[in-house]
């Protein structure tokens, strides 16, 4: 209960009241005891007095009883009834009849009345009546009744009681005064000091101390209060420091502390809300939390989650800034309860994670971009840890290994890539040495063929982790292209040498042809100059010619001339084919280009020696009405020559008794169409579909690059906007169809 200023006076009053009650109780008790004692003494004394007096009166009455001297009896009774202790005297006969009686009137001391009958006798307690028989000579003559005055007894008792009261009151008052002074010094004053200290405590002043030099319980109590005050003062100081720190933290914390009731109304919020949302504390307190949420109902969902779990951590919530910006906050909150243990609401902190979310989005985009880059790389990528366990692999690596990342993750890379086992043994050295390892054109057996790979191991330069990146790329096609380019360079060199050689051969060949013609002309009898010279030296020119013919000299010279002409044509075609193509188109006759291609094929070494092209019959069905086409002659010749070589190869493999190549031209729907057909072994459907793929070849290793038909496809489709197709069945030969547009050629 609260301490008031009236409390000390109340204690004093209670002590005084207690003393008064004790004194009164003592006086009452002692008075009662004295009254009882004195009453008993007075009654006993009165009885003795009454007995003596009634005996004396009875004796006097006995003397006068026989004569019935009423006068003597009347005087005797009057003398005794006026006594202050006597109220009435009655003399009765032996049968109880009143002979004479006297009584005092009420309130009168000396006024006496006669008692004539029983009704005149006053009614008294039996203790106030004494009776004595009147006996004379052994015979009972009657009786004398003495009625004592009880008021006198009461009066005496009062006097005795007052005497006893005043005799006991003075020492009792002295004792009470001494007790009060002692209690005041020993109890009231210390209690007053303790009360004053308690009152200061109640007012919040904990600096007051009790100055009591006593070793009794009050002193111990005072020391306890002083120690309690010291402890409370220390705790208050600590609480003040803690409150100061808490206030500092509450006001300087970056996160927003909030408290809301069950209805969602904000009751408390830290000052940091200004920095986070732009609202002051006054603008937030008293408002419903949902008013600051981007999505309506977000607060109810949050409260449901907290109610279900008791608390939430890292719960994302979208809030609206005062300037309408969207703020993403992370909520960490829990339920709080009232004094009855009922849920009062939710309290917790809000942390602005907008920058983190943006960074997370950027990192996610970077991860996505990185993943896309990794997936689009032309190389297979595998990331392994220090124990060679797979952590990451891209799509090409999955395709090569035949495992998905979910299947291969955590598996040793050696189990997944056994073909690279010897190189993978170096991963640990690369990680520890921090130096990459690389090997180009590593030959690896893949199925029934060897393929070439560029293989690298790169250490991931991180202090926290030991990882390595394994990169390998199938460069088989690249190697073949390089080989083809090298072969092309060789062919260019051969072409250059052939062109130079052709120029060098042309001069002596021209001399041979000219001299062969001159020999034929000089031995001809149809030329007059020959006859004149023969006549001058005396030779018969006709006989000489006959001799030369019979000896075959004329045939030799004719063969020399024909061989020279043929060699001249071959050299001309070689020069034309070996010229560097600059994709310069010119109007040309397609039939003529086909003829030139056949002549080149006839002079090709592979065709003549390997496939015995001379034994292959060539049938030509050229449409004479073809318009001139705008084409690159050398490129078309290259295409035709590749098709003829493939036909010759097929005929050689089929062992046909009558090998034949048929070449046709025709005009169809705006296209000049060339068909080259053979009656060789034909192709399967799988080979037919792949015939135009780069590096696809059915020849033995070293006999071809597999680029001839691929290059031909590019020349026709890309360089000339045409079409090239093939039809074939096993055992039924093959037919290549080349369609070149006429519309763009110009006639």
pLDDT tens string 66-88: 555 667 777 777 777 777 677 78
Whether 701 and 623 share a structural domain: yes
Residue 164 neighbours by CB under 8 Å, 6+ apart: 30, 31, 34
Per-residue pLDDT band for 18 (boundaries 50, 70, 90) equals confident
- Among residues 609, 701, 702, the alpha carbon closest in space to that of 648 is found at 609
CA distance 691 to 682: 12
CA distance 167 to 160: 11
Per-residue pLDDT band for 447 (boundaries 50, 70, 90) equals low
Share of the chain above pLDDT 90, in %: 4
- Among residues 322, 321, 318, 323, the alpha carbon closest in space to that of 353 is found at 318
Which residues, in sequence order, are bridge partners of residue 381?
471
Residue 583, classed as helix, strand or coil, is coil
Other CB atoms within 10 A of residue 649 CB = 21
224: left (phi over 0), alpha (psi -120 to 50) or beta: alpha
Whether 278 and 407 share a structural domain: no
Does the residue 703 lie in any domain?
yes
CA distance 231 to 252: 30
Does the residue 326 lie in any domain?
yes
Question: What residue has token string 């032996």?
Answer: 94
Whether 152 and 53 share a structural domain: yes
Tokens of 296: 């309506």
Tokens of 389: 């366990």
Other CB atoms within 10 A of residue 670 CB = 10
Does the residue 2 lie in any domain?
no
pLDDT score, position 346: 92
**Is the CB of residue 711 less than 8 Å from the CB of residue 487?**
no
Q: What is the mean pLDDT of the chain?
A: 77
| Least trusted range by pLDDT, from 18-32, 168-182, 207-221, 375-389 | 207-221
Phi, psi of 107 (to 5 degrees): 80, 5
pLDDT score, position 746: 42
CA distance 536 to 530: 10
CA distance 634 to 597: 9
**Is the CB of residue 277 less than 8 Å from the CB of residue 319?**
yes
Whether 230 and 277 share a structural domain: no
Whether 601 and 741 share a structural domain: yes
Residue 451 neighbours by CB under 8 Å, 6+ apart: 443, 444, 474, 476
| DSSP sequence for 323-377 | TS-EEEEEEEEEEEE-TTS-EEEEEEEEEE-HHHHHHHHHHHHHHHHHHHHHHHS
CA distance 216 to 232: 24
Tokens of 399: 């395709």
Whether 287 and 234 share a structural domain: no
CA distance 541 to 535: 8
**Is the CB of residue 194 less than 8 Å from the CB of residue 209?**
no
Domain count, the chain: 6
DSSP assignment, residue 126?
G
Per-residue pLDDT band for 701 (boundaries 50, 70, 90) equals very low
CA distances from 360 to 313, 353, 366, 464, 501 (A): 19, 10, 9, 22, 71
Instruction: Return the half-sphere exposure (C-beta side, CA atoms, 13 A cut-off) of residue 739.
Output: 12
- CATH code of the domain covering residue 744: 3.30.565.10
Per-residue pLDDT band for 8 (boundaries 50, 70, 90) equals very low
Share in percent of the chain as helix, strand, coil (round to 5): 55, 20, 25
Whether 458 and 436 share a structural domain: yes
**Is the CB of residue 658 less than 8 Å from the CB of residue 616?**
no
Query: pLDDT tens across 676-700, in order?
Result: 988 887 887 777 777 777 666 666 5
pLDDT score, position 332: 92
Whether 214 and 279 share a structural domain: no
Per-residue pLDDT band for 260 (boundaries 50, 70, 90) equals very high
Task: State which of 143, 158, 173 marks the end of a domain.
Answer: 158
Does the residue 163 lie in any domain?
no
CA distance 498 to 600: 13
Residue 744, classed as helix, strand or coil, is coil
Q: What is the side-by-side strand order in the sheet with 266-269?
A: 266-269, 256-261, 343-352, 326-337, 311-320
Whether 623 and 701 share a structural domain: yes
Query: pLDDT tens across 636-688, in order?
Result: 888 888 888 888 877 777 777 788 889 899 998 889 999 998 888 788 777 77
Whether 353 and 405 share a structural domain: no
Query: Can you list the pairs that 39-47 forms with residues at least 24 positions away whose Cβ atoms lie under 8 Å?
Result: 39/153, 39/157, 42/153, 42/156, 42/157, 43/127, 43/153, 46/85, 46/148, 46/153, 47/127, 47/130
Query: pLDDT tens across 90-119, in order?
Result: 888 777 778 778 777 765 656 777 777 777
pLDDT score, position 126: 47
Q: Mean of the pLDDT values across residues 471-477?
A: 84
**Is the CB of residue 691 less than 8 Å from the CB of residue 710?**
no
**Is the CB of residue 80 less than 8 Å from the CB of residue 89?**
yes
Is the pLDDT score of 3 beyond 50?
no
Does the residue 353 lie in any domain?
yes
CA distance 322 to 383: 47
- Among residues 682, 623, 615, the alpha carbon closest in space to that of 647 is found at 682
Task: State which of 474, 504, 524 marks the end of a domain.
Answer: 474
Does the residue 171 lie in any domain?
no
Is the pLDDT score of 491 beyond 70?
no
Phi, psi of 741 (to 5 degrees): -70, 140
pLDDT score, position 706: 58
- Among residues 70, 89, 169, the alpha carbon closest in space to that of 130 is found at 89
pLDDT score, position 333: 92
CA distance 533 to 521: 13
**Is the CB of residue 117 less than 8 Å from the CB of residue 137?**
no
Residue 452 neighbours by CB under 8 Å, 6+ apart: 441, 442, 443, 444, 474, 475, 476, 479
DSSP assignment, residue 537?
H
Q: What is the side-by-side strand order in the sheet with 449-460?
A: 390-393, 380-385, 467-474, 449-460, 437-446
Task: State which of 428, 451, 474 marks the end of a domain.
Answer: 474
pLDDT score, position 601: 74
pTM value?
A: 0.40
Q: Which domain holds residue 556?
A: 475-580
| DSSP sequence for 83-110 | STTEEEEEEEETTS-EEEEEEEPTT-SS
Other CB atoms within 10 A of residue 289 CB = 22
Query: pLDDT tens across 344-368, in order?
Result: 999 998 988 888 888 888 888 888 8
- CATH code of the domain covering residue 120: 3.30.450
- Among residues 391, 381, 400, the alpha carbon closest in space to that of 470 is found at 381
Does the residue 199 lie in any domain?
no
Instruction: Return the half-sphere exposure (C-beta side, CA atoms, 13 A cut-off) of residue 695.
Output: 12
Whether 139 and 222 share a structural domain: no
**Is the CB of residue 728 less than 8 Å from the CB of residue 735?**
yes
Per-residue pLDDT band for 493 (boundaries 50, 70, 90) equals low
Greatest Cα-to-Cα distance within the chain, rounded to the nearest angstrom: 263
CA distance 214 to 222: 9
Which residues, in sequence order, are bridge partners of residue 392?
383
Phi, psi of 437 (to 5 degrees): -125, 140
- Among residues 350, 221, 245, the alpha carbon closest in space to that of 298 is found at 350
Whether 447 and 513 share a structural domain: no
CA distance 381 to 397: 6
Does the residue 1 lie in any domain?
no
Residue 243 neighbours by CB under 8 Å, 6+ apart: none
């Amino acid at each position: 209960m609260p301490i008031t200023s009236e409390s000390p006076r109340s204690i004093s009053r209670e002590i005084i009241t207690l003393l008064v009650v004790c004194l009164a109780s003592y006086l009452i008790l002692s008075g009662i005891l004295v009254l009882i004692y004195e009453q008993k003494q007075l009654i006993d004394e009165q009885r003795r007095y009454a007995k003596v007096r009634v005996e004396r009166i009875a004796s006097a009455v006995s003397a006068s009883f026989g004569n019935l001297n009423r006068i003597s009896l009347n005087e005797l009774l009057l003398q005794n009834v006026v006594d202050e202790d006597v109220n009435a005297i009655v003399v009765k006969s032996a049968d109880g009849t009143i002979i004479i009686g006297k009584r005092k009137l009420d309130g009168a001391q000396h006024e006496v009345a006669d008692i004539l009958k029983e009704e005149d006798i006053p009614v008294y307690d039996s203790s106030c009546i004494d009776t004595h028989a009147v006996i004379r000579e052994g015979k009972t003559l009657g009786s004398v009744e003495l009625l004592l005055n009880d008021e006198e007894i009461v009066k005496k008792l009062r006097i005795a009681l007052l005497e006893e009261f005043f005799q006991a009151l003075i020492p009792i008052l002295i004792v009470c005064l001494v007790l009060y002074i002692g209690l005041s010094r020993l109890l009231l004053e210390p209690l007053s000091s303790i009360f004053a200290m308690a009152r200061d405590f109640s007012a919040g002043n904990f600096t007051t101390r009790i100055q009591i030099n006593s070793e009794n319980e009050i002193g111990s109590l005072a020391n306890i209060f002083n120690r309690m005050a010291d402890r409370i003062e220390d705790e208050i100081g600590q609480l003040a420091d803690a409150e100061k720190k808490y206030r500092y933290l509450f006001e300087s914390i970056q996160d927003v502390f909030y408290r809301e009731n069950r209805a969602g109304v904000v009751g408390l919020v830290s000052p940091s809300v200004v920095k986070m949302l732009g609202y002051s504390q006054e603008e937030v307190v008293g408002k419903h939390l949902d008013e600051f949420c981007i999505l309506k109902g977000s607060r109810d969902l949050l409260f449901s989650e907290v109610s279900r779990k008791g608390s939430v951590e890292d719960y994302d919530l979208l809030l609206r800034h005062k300037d309408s910006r969207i703020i993403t906050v992370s909520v960490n909150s829990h339920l709080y309860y009232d004094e009855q243990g009922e849920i009062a609401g939710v309290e917790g902190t809000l942390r602005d994670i907008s920058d983190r979310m943006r960074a997370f989005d950027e990192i996610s985009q970077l991860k996505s971009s990185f993943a896309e880059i990794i997936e689009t790389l032309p190389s297979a990528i595998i990331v392994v840890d220090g124990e060679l366990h797979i952590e990451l692999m891209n799509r090409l690596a999955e395709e090569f290994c035949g495992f998905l990342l979910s299947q291969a993750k955590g598996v040793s890379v050696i189990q997944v890539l056994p073909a690279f086992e010897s190189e993978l043994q170096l991963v640990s050295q690369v990680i520890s040495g921090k130096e990459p390892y690389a090997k180009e054109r590593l030959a690896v057996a893949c199925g029934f063929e060897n393929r070439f790979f560029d293989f690298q191991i790169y250490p991931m330069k991180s202090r926290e982790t030991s990882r390595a990146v394994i990169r390998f790329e199938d460069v088989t096609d690249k190697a073949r292209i390089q080989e083809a380019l090298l072969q092309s360079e060789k062919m260019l060199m051969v072409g250059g040498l052939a062109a130079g050689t052709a120029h060098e051969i042309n001069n002596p060949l021209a001399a041979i042809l000219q001299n062969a013609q001159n020999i034929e002309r000089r031995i001809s009898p149809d030329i007059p100059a020959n006859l004149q010279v023969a006549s001058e030296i005396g030779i018969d020119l006709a006989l000489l010619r006959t001799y030369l013919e019979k000896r075959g000299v004329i045939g030799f010279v004719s063969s020399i001339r024909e061989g020279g002409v043929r060699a001249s044509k071959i050299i001309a075609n070689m020069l034309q084919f070996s010229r560097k193509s600059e994709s310069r188109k010119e109007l040309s006759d397609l039939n003529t280009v086909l003829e030139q291609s056949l002549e080149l094929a006839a002079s090709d070494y592979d065709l003549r020696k390997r496939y015995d092209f001379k034994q292959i019959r060539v049938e030509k069905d050229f449409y004479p009405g073809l318009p001139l086409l705008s084409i690159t002659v050398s490129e078309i010749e290259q295409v035709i020559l590749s098709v003829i070589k493939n036909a010759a190869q097929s005929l050689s493999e089929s062992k046909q008794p009558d090998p034949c190549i048929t070449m046709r031209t025709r005009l169809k729907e705006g296209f000049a169409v060339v068909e080259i057909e053979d009656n060789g072994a034909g192709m399967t459907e799988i080979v037919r579909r792949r015939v135009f793929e780069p590096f696809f070849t059915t020849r033995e290793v070293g006999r071809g690059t597999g680029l001839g038909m691929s290059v031909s496809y590019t020349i026709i489709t890309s360089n000339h906007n045409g079409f090239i197709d093939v039809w074939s069945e096993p055992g039924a030969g093959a037919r290549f169809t080349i369609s070149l547009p006429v519309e763009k050629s110009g006639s």
